[in-house]
A and B are shown apart, each in its own frame.
Chain A
Amino acid sequence: MPEQLIPTSVVLGAWVATGLTLFIYSFLYKDNPLFKLGEHLYVGVSIGYSVVLVWYTVFFRLLWEPLKKGIAEHPAALGTYEPVIPALLGLLILTQFFPRVSWLSRIAFAFIVGFGSGVAIPRTVSSYILKQIEDTVNPLITMGANGLSMGFDLASPQSGINTIILLIGVVSVLFYFFFSVEHSGPGMVAARTGIYFLMIAFGAAFGYTVMSRMSLLIGRFRDLITFAGAEYGYATPVLLLVTVLSLAGWELAARRKGGEE
Chain B
Amino acid sequence: MIFLKRQLPLAITFVMGVAFALQYYIPHPVSEAAITKVSDWMKIISGFALVLGIASVFHVHAVKIRRQAPGWGYSGVLFAAIVTTMAVGFWSGGESKADGSQTAFGWLYDYTMVPLQGTMFSILAFFIASAAYRAFRARSPEASVLLVSAVVVMMGRVPLGQTLLPGMQISIGQFLFKIPGAWDITQWLMNVLNSAVRRAILIGVSMGSVALSLKIILGKERSYLGGGKDQ
Contact = CB atoms under 8 A, between A and B. Distances in A.
A118 B154 CA distance: 41
Contacts of A28: 123, 126
Given A13-B111, A41-B77, A216-B118, A103 B71 contact: no
Contact of A217 (B75, B110, B125, B194): B125
Q: How large is the interface on B (under 10, 10 to 19, 20 to 34, 35 or more residues)?
A: 35 or more
B23 to A, nearest CB: 8
B216 A203 contact: no
Most buried by A among B23, B52, B81: B81
Contact of B94 (A55, A90, A133): A55
Contacts of B210: 120-121, 124-125, 129
A83 interface: yes
Nearest to B152: A207
Contacts, number: 394
A21 B113 CA distance: 10
Contacts of B79: 44
A209 B128 contact: yes
**What secondary structure prevails in chain B residues at the interface with A?**
helix
A13 B110 contact: yes
B230 interface: no
Contacts of B187: 155
Given A56-B94, A207-B151, A207-B154, A195 B105 contact: no
Interface in B95-124: 102, 105, 107-116, 118-124
Nearest to A46: B113
**What secondary structure prevails in chain A residues at the interface with B?**
helix
Given A44-B85, A96-B52, A216-B122, A114 B17 contact: yes
A154 interface: yes
Nearest to B79: A44
Contacts of B192: 154, 157, 162, 165-166, 169
Given A118-B21, A121-B214, A200-B145, A208 B153 contact: yes
Interface in A1-22: 9, 12-14, 16-18, 20-21
A114 B42 CA distance: 11
A90 B44 contact: yes
Nearest to B191: A157
Contacts of A216: 118, 121-122, 124-125
Interface of B: 4-5, 8-10, 12-21, 23-25, 35, 37-38, 40-52, 54-55, 57, 71, 74-75, 77-86, 89-90, 93-94, 102, 105, 107-116, 118-126, 128, 132, 141-143, 145-154, 157-158, 178, 180, 184, 186-207, 209-210, 212-214, 216-217, 224-226, 231
Interface of A: 9, 12-14, 16-18, 20-21, 24-25, 27-28, 36-60, 62-63, 82-83, 85-87, 89-91, 93-94, 96-97, 103, 106-126, 128-129, 132-133, 135-136, 154-155, 157, 162, 165-174, 177, 194-211, 213-214, 216-217, 219-220, 223
